[in-house]
């Protein structure tokens, strides 16, 4: 049994509701498509240009990810495979801050008192604060079987206009025997210095 339309409203309300629904679906497809494209290609560079209307301090952002586990036993800083990208500071004479963030699942193995270290090179220099190998990204657990954990590191450096390479470097320190990283994420952005 069909209901009769309201005597005063009729079905006039139906057209605007359907129009809003269709517009909502179209908008959602524009927002979801870039994310779906990125998630179907893990380990690839994903670039987003950020230009908020209310804040012109941001210029750009780059992201690199990997699902592949890597291991090092090197006692000197070496590049983490694939963990690099470049970013450009626009001309105009202004200085910009390059902000780099890195997070990963980590496993550091070795005797008590040893650790595993990371640094983020911004251009040819480590980001600040520059602790060298004193920064312990991870350390062996006190209990046998201590497993993977999530860890993060952020570094920055003020730079003049130009193109800069940002690279993650890693090493073992003070007798650590193995440093493993998996499911990592490197993001780099530029911020105008006020």
Mean pLDDT to the nearest integer, 118-128: 97
Q: In terms of DSSP H, where are the helices of 45-126? A: none
> How confident is the model over 108-117, as pLDDT tens digits?
999 999 999 9
Q: Which residues, listed in sequence order, are joined to residue 70 by a DSSP beta bridge?
A: 181
The answer to whether 72 and 179 are in contact (CB under 8 A) is yes
Encode pLDDT of 24-59 as tens digits. 555 555 454 444 444 444 444 444 444 443 445 557
Between the alpha carbon of residue 162 and those of residues 58, 87, 130, 152, the distances in Å are: 16, 8, 22, 27
Predicted local distance difference test score (pLDDT) of residue 21: 58
Instruction: Measure the CA–CA gap between 6 and 107, rounded to whole angstroms.
Output: 67
How confident is residue 122, by pLDDT bands cut at 50, 70 and 90? very high
Are 148 and 106 a contacting pair, CB within 8 Å? Answer: yes
Judged on CB neighbours under 10 Å (0-12, 13-18, 19+), 60 is: middle
Cβ-based neighbour number of residue 112 at 10 Å: 10
CA 33 remoteness from chain centre = 19
Whether the model pTM is above 0.85: no
Query: What would be the CATH architecture of the domain defined by 43-192?
Result: Sandwich (2.60)
Residue whose token pair is 């991870």: 138
Closest to 65 in 3D by CA, of 182, 189, 194: 182
The confidence score (pLDDT) of residue 172 equals 97
- Calpha distance 82→68 (Å, rounded): 10
Task: Provide the pLDDT for residue 34.
Answer: 47
What pLDDT digit, counting tens, does each position of 144-163 carry? 666 889 999 999 999 999 99
Q: What is the mean pLDDT of the chain?
A: 81
Residues in the chain: 194
From residue 83, give the alpha-carbon distance in Å to each of 65, 74, 96, 117. Answer: 8, 17, 22, 15
* Interatomic CA distance for residues 46 and 36, integer angstroms: 12
Tokens matching residue 122: 């911004």
Where do runs of H (alpha helix) occur along 40-173? none
């Amino acid at each position: 049994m069909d209901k009769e339309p309201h005597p005063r409203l009729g079905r006039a309300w139906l057209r605007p509701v359907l129009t809003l629904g269709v517009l909502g679906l179209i908008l959602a497809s524009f927002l979801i498509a870039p994310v779906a494209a990125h998630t179907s290609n893990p380990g690839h560079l994903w670039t987003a240009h950020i230009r908020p209307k209310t804040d012109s301090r941001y210029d750009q952002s780059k992201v690199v990810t990997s699902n592949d586990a890597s291991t090092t036993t090197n006692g000197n800083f070496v590049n983490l495979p694939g963990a690099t990208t470049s970013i450009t500071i626009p001309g105009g004479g202004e200085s910009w801050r390059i902000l780099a963030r890195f997070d990963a699942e980590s496993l550091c193995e070795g005797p008590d008192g040893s650790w595993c270290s990371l640094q983020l090179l911004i251009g040819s220099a480590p980001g600040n604060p520059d602790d060298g190998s004193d920064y312990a990204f991870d350390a062996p657990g006190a209990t046998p079987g201590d497993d993977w954990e999530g860890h993060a590191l952020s570094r920055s450096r003020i730079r003049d206009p130009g193109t800069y390479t940002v690279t993650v470097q890693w090493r073992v320190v003070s007798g650590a025997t193995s440093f493993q990283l998996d499911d990592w994420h490197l993001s780099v952005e530029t911020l105008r210095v006020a």
